[in-house]
Structure 1
Amino acid sequence: MAILKDAKQNGNYVELSIKRHIPGESEGSRMYFQYVELNRMQYELEFGWTNMVVESYIEATSQFPLPQLHGLYSSFEKHLYELSWINMDMSNDQYKLHFYGSDQDFELIALAEDIRTFGNDLNAEWQHIISIS
Structure 2
Amino acid sequence: MSIETDDVIILKGLAFYGYHGVMPEEGKVGCRFSVDVTCGLDLRAAAKSDDVDETISYEFIFNIVRDAFGEHRFKLLEALAQHIVDRLFEAHEEIDWVQIRVAKPEAPIPVVTGEFAVKLTRQRPDG
What is the TM-score of this pair, normalised by structure 1?
Answer: 0.35
Larger radius of gyration: 2
What is the TM-score of this pair, normalised by structure 2?
Answer: 0.36
